[in-house]
Amino acid sequence: MKEKKAVITIALIVINIAVFAVETIAGGSENTQVALKFGVAYAPLVFSGEYYRLFTAMFLHFGAFHLLANMVSLGVLGPAVEKLFGKIRFLIIYLIGGIAGNVLSMYMDVWLDRNALSAGASGAIFALFGAYLVMALSKKFSGLSVPRVLIAIVISLVPGFEMQSINMTAHLGGLIGGFIVSLILLPTVVKPRRWK
């Protein structure tokens, strides 16, 4: 039997690349005005009622390297979570985890009195790490070890401690959000599955 393609993962990658192309045409993905126009997360605007930015920011990136790093990570992590949880559950984990990352990031910005522009898919991608952790802890999935998942998470978090431009709060918020959502959705995954 032919294995199904990870269509949601592929669609998300295509959407991110398409949005980046439009940003570039509109004046550049690293242009502040373009970023604000397209819906980057910015605490003063979010808390003034522009809550949609918590969603749109997930599809915006600052520069080609930012986009490339996130899309490679999504391409590596996405297919397995999509296969094991199913397409709809995968999308729920991805989107809610990404929003959770942006929410935590905005509250941290207010608490620290720093109003930085925030964008990128990394909060949603860290939500997939949260899903991997749930999968590793669950008896419904076999062949995925908790220590390996934790090591992968720590390695992925390390650059955030070295580079101030990386939004560690969004990463942690996405990780926590993805873990909680995956835990809630886990009972709906009825068939035991094997990690390959």
Catalytic residues: 122, 171
Q: Which residue has the tokens 């999968």?
A: 135
| Dihedrals phi, psi of 140, to nearest 5 degrees | -75, -20
Q: Report residue 1 as tokens.
A: 């039997």
Selection from 109, 113, 73 nearest residue 94 by Cα: 73
Q: How far apart are the first and last CA of the chain?
A: 15
Instruction: Check: CB of residue 171 under 8 Å from CB of residue 82.
Output: no
**Beta carbons within 10 angstroms of residue 11's beta carbon:** 12
User: Across-strand partners of 25?
Assistant: none
Selection from 71, 34, 66, 36 nearest residue 53 by Cα: 36
Axis crossing angle, helix 122-137 with helix 146-162, rounded to the nearest 10: 160
